[in-house]
Amino acid sequence: MEMPAPDAAILSRKPELVARLGAVLPEDAVITDPAETLAYECDALTAYRCPPLAVVLPATTEEVAATLAICHEMGVPVVPRGSGTSLAGGALPTADSVVLGVARMNAVLETDFENRFVRVQAGRTNLSVTGAVEDEGFFYAPDPSSQLACAISGNIAMNSGGAHCLKYGVTTNNLMGVRMVLMDGTVIDLGGRASRCRGL
């Protein structure tokens, strides 16, 4: 597969882009060193590789929103990345794109054992969701083979399953809602708790 030619106009604005991203993210959350961006040049489908223009590692929804708003305004493509365990090339960047990794977004935000509900950030690993609730006798059912490393955001993107899906269903059968950031930085909520959920 031949990668598309990068947009020269975007490449020429890299210093401006990096400066703007650095103004809304912590210093260590913006990666531009060519050697360091190599870690993000592909996912587990390693046959195709392309280092991105930059990598950002936000820790909050607000940082994601600010990043996307800047990239949208400047016309810079963004490639979201969970843990990079997919074999489908879903996190494959182009040379003029920004990879938005969610690895730092790994907190458990809420647990409600009575209603069998847990709310986690996008970068939380599949197995660590179970780890957060297993002391109360619960587990997170979708269990892909990469569950030790794969991120919940990637599970949602790929509708991951696993051995337990035969009894409990795949990710969509275990997902009640999503807080999503659109490309222009707008934050929206889809679904929610069962009492409020309609059609998710």
Confirm whether 199 is domain-assigned. no
φ, ψ for residue 108, nearest 5 deg: -90, 120
- Find where tokens 């360091």 sit: 36
Confirm whether 196 is domain-assigned. no
Distance (Å, whole) CA 198 – CA 200: 6
Provide the number of structural domains found in the chain.
Answer: 2
Task: Print pLDDT tens along the chain (200 aa).
Answer: 677 889 999 999 999 999 999 999 999 999 999 999 999 999 999 989 999 999 999 999 999 999 999 999 999 999 999 999 988 888 999 999 999 999 999 999 999 999 899 999 999 999 999 999 999 999 999 999 999 999 999 999 999 998 888 899 999 999 999 999 999 999 999 997 765 545 44
Confirm whether 3 is domain-assigned. no
Residues 15 and 97 in one domain: yes
Give the pLDDT confidence score for residue 199 in this predicted structure. Answer: 44
Confirm whether 155 is domain-assigned. yes
Residues 122 and 149 in one domain: yes
Domain's final residue, options 71, 101, 131: 101
Confirm whether 69 is domain-assigned. yes
* Domain CATH code at residue 114: 3.30.465.10
Residues 83 and 139 in one domain: no
Give the pLDDT confidence score for residue 3 in this predicted structure. Answer: 76
This prediction's pTM: 0.90
Write the Ramachandran bin of 192: left for phi over 0, alpha for psi from -120 to 50, otherwise beta.
left
The single-letter code of the amino acid at 128 is S
User: 96 with 7: CB under 8 angstroms?
Assistant: yes
Taking CA atoms, 48 is separated from 10, 52, 55, 57, 103, in Å, by 22, 13, 18, 22, 22
* Domain CATH code at residue 77: 3.30.43.10
Residues 139 and 93 in one domain: no
Give the pLDDT confidence score for residue 89 in this predicted structure. Answer: 86
Residues 50 and 29 in one domain: yes
Give the pLDDT confidence score for residue 188 in this predicted structure. Answer: 97
Residues of the domain holding 89: 8-101
Distance (Å, whole) CA 104 – CA 25: 12
Residues 81 and 142 in one domain: no
Give the pLDDT confidence score for residue 168 in this predicted structure. Answer: 92
